[in-house]
C-alpha cells in the first residue's frame, strides 16, 4: 500500500505520461473533427473501448497475476447483452415469459447494469473453477471456458448463431444523442476514465495491497491472516465486469455482435493491449490499445498481411523489450 500511496503522492514520470495519454485520447477526435476527418472519431472511440477491455484484464493479469486467456468471454457476453436487448426491443417481443415477463430495451441505463451483472456472474463461475488451479493450467482453463461460451453462441440459433445479431439503431441514453459520433466517444471515454479511476481507487486501498501480495506470494499473504482465494476471485469478477461493460459499448459502436467477440483471438488481442502497454500499469492498456489500433490502421494500409507484422512486433516486444510502452515512456515501475 505504501508504494501505491507513494505513486499517488508526488507527480512521477508515470503520472505525467498518464495525463498526456488521457489528454491525447480526448484531443484526437476533436482534432479529427476540426480537420474534417470524422472517420477518426469512431477510431478514437474504438481505442477507448478496447482500452477499457484491457483495463479490466489488467486488474486480473497485471495486478493480480492471474493470466486469463479467456477475457473475450466477458467482452462477448457484454456485447450479447446489448445485442439481445436491442433485438427484442426492435421486434417488440419478450426475452422471457417465465417466471417474470422481461421485454427487450434500447435504454443503455438498463442494458449496462445487466451487462455488468451477466459478465460478473460468468466471471464468478469461471473464476471459481479456474482459481482452483494456477500457472499454466489457469491459462488453459480460462481459455477452455471462453471457448465453451463461443461454441454455445455459434450453435445456438435463436440469437443469430454464427452470423450474430445486428443492432439496427444504436441504444439510447436519456438526454443524449448517441448517434452523434463525438457524443458516443465521450460516453466511451467517460466509461474508460471511470474504469481507470476505479482501478486506481481499489489498488490504493487495502484490497489492492492484498491483491498485489497474492500475486507476489500467496503463502505470505495467508500467514498474515488473509485468505488469497476470495481476494483473487473478487478481483477476477471485477475484472470480468469491466471487460463486459466494454463489450456492451463495443457492440453499440459496431452496430452488431457476433461470436468473433467471444473468440480466443479476441482474448489474445485484449492480452496484447495489456502487454504492449505495460503489465500492471494504470494507463498501460490505453497506450497498448492506441498502439494496436494505429498499427492496424497504418500497417493495414500498407500490406494486407498486417497480422504478420503484428506477430513479429509482438514477438520482438516479448523477447527483447519487456515493460511495454509505459516502460519506455515512464521507466520501470517502482515495485517488484
Partner 1 sequence: MTYALVVEQALNGLQLGVTLFLMAAGLTLVFGVMGLINLAHGSLYMVGAFVCAWVAGATGSFWIGLLAGMAAAAAAGALIEIGVMRRLYARDHLDQVLATFALILVFAEGTRMIFGAQPLWLDMPAALSGSVTLPGGAPYPVYRLAIIGTGIAVAVGLYLLISRTRLGMRIRAGESDREMIGALGIDIRTLYTVVFALGAALAGLAGALVGALESVQIGMGEPVLILAFVVIVIGGIGSVKGALIGSVLVGVVDTMGRIGLPELFKLAMPASAATQFGASVASMAIYLLMAAILVVKPRGLFPVHG
The pair phi, psi for residue 97, each rounded to 5°, is -105, -15
Does position 98 bind partner 1 by CB under 8 A? no
Does position 2 bind partner 1 by CB under 8 A? no
Q: Report the C-alpha gap between 245 and 115 in whole angstroms.
A: 6
- Answer whether 262's CB lies under 8 Å from 75's CB: yes
Binding-site string for partner 1 from residue 64 to residue 83, where x marks contact by CB under 8 A and - marks none: ---x-x--------------
Q: Report the C-alpha gap between 315 and 22 in whole angstroms.
A: 27
**Binding region for partner 1 (CB under 8 A) out of 171-179, 180-188, 245-253, 264-272:** 264-272
Does position 271 bind partner 1 by CB under 8 A? yes
The pair phi, psi for residue 156, each rounded to 5°, is -95, 110
Binding-site string for partner 1 from residue 25 to residue 64, where x marks contact by CB under 8 A and - marks none: ------------------------------------x---
Does position 275 bind partner 1 by CB under 8 A? yes
Residue whose C-alpha cell is 506477430: 311
Closer residue to partner 1, CB minimum distance, 257 or 279: 279
Using alpha carbons, list the distances in angstroms from residue 139 to 228, 259, 314: 18, 21, 19
Q: Encode burial over 165-193: b for 16+ CB neighbours within 10 A, e otherwise.
A: bbbeebbbeeeeebeebbebbbbbbebbb
Closer residue to partner 1, CB minimum distance, 101 or 158: 158
Binding-site string for partner 1 from residue 127 to residue 156, where x marks contact by CB under 8 A and - marks none: --x--xx-xxx-xxx-xxx-xx--xx-xxx
Binding site for partner 1 (CB under 8 A): 61, 67, 69, 129, 132-133, 135-137, 139-141, 143-145, 147-148, 151-152, 154-157, 264, 268, 271-272, 275, 279, 305, 307-308, 310-312, 314-315, 318-319, 322
Amino acid at each position: 500500500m505504501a508504494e501505491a500511496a507513494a505513486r499517488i503522492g508526488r507527480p512521477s514520470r508515470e503520472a505525467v505520461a498518464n495525463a498526456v495519454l488521457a489528454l491525447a485520447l480526448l484531443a484526437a477526435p476533436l482534432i479529427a473533427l476540426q480537420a474534417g476527418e470524422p472517420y477518426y472519431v469512431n477510431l478514437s472511440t474504438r481505442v477507448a473501448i478496447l482500452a477499457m477491455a484491457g483495463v479490466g484484464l489488467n486488474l486480473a493479469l497485471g495486478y493480480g497475476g492471474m493470466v486469463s486467456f479467456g477475457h473475450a468471454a466477458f467482452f462477448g457476453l457484454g456485447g450479447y447483452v446489448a445485442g439481445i436487448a436491442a433485438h427484442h426491443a426492435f421486434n417488440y417481443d419478450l426475452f422471457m415469459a417465465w417466471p417474470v415477463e422481461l421485454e427487450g430495451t434500447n435504454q443503455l441505463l438498463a442494458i449496462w447494469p445487466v451487462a455488468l451483472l451477466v459478465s460478473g456472474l460468468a466471471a464468478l463461475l469461471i473464476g471459481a473453477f479456474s482459481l482452483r488451479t494456477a500457472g499454466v493450467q489457469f491459462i488453459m482453463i480460462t481459455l477452455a471456458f471462453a471457448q465453451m461460451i463461443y461454441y454455445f453462441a455459434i450453435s445456438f440459433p435463436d440469437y443469430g448463431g454464427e452470423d450474430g445479431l445486428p443492432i439496427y439503431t444504436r441504444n439510447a441514453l436519456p438526454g443524449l444523442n448517441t448517434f452523434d459520433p463525438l457524443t458516443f466517444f465521450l460516453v466511451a471515454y467517460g466509461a474508460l476514465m471511470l474504469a481507470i479511476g476505479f482501478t486506481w481507487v481499489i489498488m490504493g486501498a487495502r484490497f489492492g495491497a492484498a491483491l498485489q501480495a497474492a500475486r507476489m506470494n500467496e503463502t505470505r499473504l495467508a500467514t498474515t491472516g488473509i485468505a488469497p482465494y476470495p481476494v483473487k476471485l473478487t478481483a477476477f469478477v471485477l475484472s470480468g465486469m469491466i471487460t463486459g461493460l466494454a463489450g456492451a459499448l463495443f457492440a453499440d459502436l459496431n452496430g452488431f455482435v457476433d461470436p468473433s467477440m467471444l473468440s480466443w483471438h479476441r482474448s489474445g488481442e485484449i492480452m496484447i493491449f495489456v502487454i504492449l502497454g505495460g503489465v500492471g500499469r494504470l494507463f498501460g492498456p490505453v497506450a497498448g490499445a492506441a498502439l494496436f489500433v494505429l498499427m492496424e490502421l497504418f500497417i493495414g494500409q500498407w500490406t494486407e498481411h498486417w497480422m504478420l507484422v503484428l506477430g513479429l512486433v509482438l514477438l520482438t516486444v516479448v523477447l527483447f523489450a519487456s515493460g511495454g510502452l509505459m516502460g519506455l515512456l515512464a521507466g520501470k515501475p517502482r515495485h517488484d
